[in-house]
Structure 1
Amino acid sequence: MITTELVFVRHGEAHCNANGVVGGPATCTGLTNLGYHQVEQAAARLADEHRDRPFTALYAGPRLRLWQTGEILSQALGLPMRTVPGLGGPIHGVADGKSWTEVKTAADGGPHAHPDRPWADGSDTWNGYLQRATEAAS
Structure 2
Amino acid sequence: MEPEIVALASSAGTTIVTLMATDAWQRVRDGVASLWRHEHAQRAEAVAVELDVTREDLLAAVETGDRDVEGELRAEWQGRVRRLLAARPQVAEELQGLLNELGPGAAAAQAITQHATASGRARIYQAGRDQHISER
TM-score when scaled to structure 1?
Answer: 0.26
Higher helix proportion (structure 1 or 2):
2
Larger radius of gyration: 2
> Which has the higher relative contact order, 1 or 2, with Cα contacts under 8 A spaced 6 or more apart?
2
Higher strand proportion (structure 1 or 2):
1
